[in-house]
Amino acid sequence: MRIEVLGSSAGGGLPQFNCNCSNCKAYREGKSTVKRRTQSSITLSEDGINWILFNASPDILEQINNSSFLHPQKLRENTIKAIVFMDAQIDHTTGLLGLREGCPHEVYCTKEVNEELNTSFPLFKMLESWNGGGVKYNEILPNASKFLIPVMPNHEFYAHALISNAPPYSEYRDKPRVGDNIGITIVNTKTNKRLFYLPGLGVLQDHIIKEMEIADVLLLEGTLWTNDEMIKGKFSKKLGTDMGHVPLNGENGLIKVLNKLKKPRKILIHINNTNPILDESTKEYEELISHGIEISYDGMRIDI
């Protein structure tokens, strides 16, 4: 299984256009320890030719342009053979509009996400006029048996319902349903190697921790360093957990849980531009790395 990180940041990217936090300011001033990051998305392939896209960020066209393995080799060719949506957040779905010339797309998501993307934020309906009907919907059932995606025939996919939050535009904001957010385990049936991908995580439930324990690679959200990061920085009046994100540091933070996991390689994704770990000169970065936890970056390749 080949994993390519197209984007490693949370919504807004780094630098965020209207943000002058220490990280965004440092990047604009050319500080070498802060990297440019686009909004989070990954691609998977088992042959290096045909790809599954997980989330289509608003930066998808820039990401494709920066990824030669996704470039067409024929006059017109779409190398992205399937798209999986983990939720209906704007920073995970809006890029679908930029991919309209490649319609119809095979799309996999839960019925809750499908509902949002046909009503409150009707991307799917908007694309119906392009090339044969926009999207071909394939339902994902969380906490159910495996599902398959034909372009990766030697892999099985398992969806896990996560407690996080519905998008800010949704009527289910602050009262999310099962299916509004999922993590996905991908298992190579030939090697039994496992990737657990969860770019959004609001609560560390027992069944999620158990799935983390048996993964070979964990690619999980690292949005905020502390729960009150956005409040202290005067960026927001909400805690990270209010927005659906478990912080990294603190008594109930992700680092403490990850420290107990012996098997997986631990890699963070979906990292907010305010998070001090994104500056490799900070004490927070040094602390994170000391725990054996990696930070993904745009263009990172992971092989399992």
- CATH number for the domain that contains residue 166: 3.60.15.10
CA–CA dist 105, 107 (Å, integer): 6
**290: pLDDT confidence band, cut at 50, 70 and 90?**
very high
Q: Which of 87, 114, 119, 65 is nearest to 11 (CA)?
A: 87
**For the whole model, what pTM was predicted?**
0.95
What pLDDT, on the 0 to 100 scale, is given for residue 124?
96
Write down the pLDDT at residue 238: 84
Distance CA 250, CA 177 (A): 27
Give per-residue pLDDT as tens, 141-187. Answer: 999 999 999 999 999 999 999 988 899 999 999 999 999 999 999 99
- The residue range of the domain holding 22 is 2-303
Residue 296's pLDDT is 98
Q: Residue 205: pLDDT above 80?
A: yes
Residues in contact with 119: Cβ distance below 8 Å, sequence separation at least 6, in sequence order: none
- DSSP assigned state of 193: -
Beta bridge partners, 4, equal 43, 301
Could you identify the residue written with the tokens 């996400």?
113
Q: What is the pLDDT, as a whole number, of residue 191? A: 97
Number of domains in the chain: 1
